[in-house]
Amino acid sequence: MSEYPIGNKITTKKLKSESVPYLKYHESFDISNLYTSSGLYVENVDHFENTLHFYCKSSDTTGVCPYCRYKSRQVHSRYQRCVNDLSILGKVVKLTLEVRKFFCKNSNCSKKTFAEQPGNEVFRYRRRTRRCETAVIRQGLSVSSGMASRLLSLSGIVLSRSTILRDLHRLRPSTYEDVEEIGIDDWAWRKGISYGTIVIDLRRKCPIDLLGKREESSFRSWMENHNEVSLVSRDRSTAYSSAIGSIDRPITEIADKFHLIKKMSDRFTKLIGEHYSDYRNAIRESQAVKEEIMYNELESWIKRFDLCQ
Ligand SMILES: [Zn+2]
């Protein structure tokens, strides 16, 4: 620790040994320990260009039959499987898994052998770990698929926009019960080509269902299966209106806010276009009146100033 110089000298003070902060390091830490919580044992790590390869296998000694839940230790064979994981320091992470096939000894089971699903992050037929899929879905729900693809590639997860869309389409809408107030609108499966209907729970403000079509029949059948719905906010589509009209119970229909404002805006623009000369004269007159008022006020202030002088 140095102090300000006195003359040409710089005086220093030694710190007491007990006040010197020092860091303690966990000497036995290894990056492969990160995968222990995933139920994986890392045998080797390799680094090639921008990719980290983790060679792993299940840390469990037994395999569980997915068909009958029977635990088996008798190994039939082994094979390799590759899945992508979350990146580390922006580098692509690939897990090369040694997967065991076990004999199922349960006589009631229809299968003789089964493949284990190593760890708790890897599932059947998936090319990515669960945490990687979660990150992709979270990003895909926040922004467009193209933007999500670009942002994810910056953090080392390289996926096309169509892959992200496929993941999103696999999601199921949230469960709902006793929904009384809904909003409906068109929803594009492919913009400009095919449309369906999206159903929104107005109270929770979240989508609850997607209908394959935007026709009267599909929405009517949905409404007939949801007798608790008593209020529908909709656009000016005649299909939705006639579907609601054909149902035997009373349902309150309201125009949604977007279309109300749009209709008012369109009408206002049309009205001004039809009477533009009157509108322009009215604006000019109001400006002239304002200017006259300001001039009169200014004049009265000047007169008062003159009197004070
Ligand atoms: Zn079995």
- pLDDT for the residue 19: 59
Query: Is residue 294 scored above 90 in pLDDT?
Result: no
CATH number of this structure's domain 181-261, picked from the four choices 3.30.420.10, 2.20.25.10, 1.20.1740.10, 3.40.50.720: 3.30.420.10
pLDDT one-digit tens code per residue, 125-173? 888 999 999 999 999 989 999 999 999 988 888 899 999 998 888 887 6
- Per-residue pLDDT, averaged over 299-304, amounts to 78
Distance 66 CA to ligand 1 centre (A): 7
Distance 125 CA to ligand 1 centre (A): 19
Distance 112 CA to ligand 1 centre (A): 7
CB 175 within 8 A of CB 162: no
Query: Is residue 280 scored above 90 in pLDDT?
Result: no
Distance 67 CA to ligand 1 centre (A): 5
Each domain of the chain, given as residue ranges in start order, spans: 31-127, 136-169, 181-261, 275-308
Residue-by-residue DSSP string for 19-35: G-------TT--GGGGG
Query: Is residue 6 scored above 70 in pLDDT?
Result: no
Residue-by-residue DSSP string for 60-80: -SSEE-TTT--EE--EEEEEE
Tell me the pLDDT of the chain averaged across its residues: 84
Query: Is residue 309 scored above 70 in pLDDT?
Result: no
Distance 113 CA to ligand 1 centre (A): 7
Distance 177 CA to ligand 1 centre (A): 37
pLDDT one-digit tens code per residue, 12-36? 555 555 555 666 666 666 676 777 7
Percent of the chain with pLDDT over 90: 25
Distance 292 CA to ligand 1 centre (A): 94
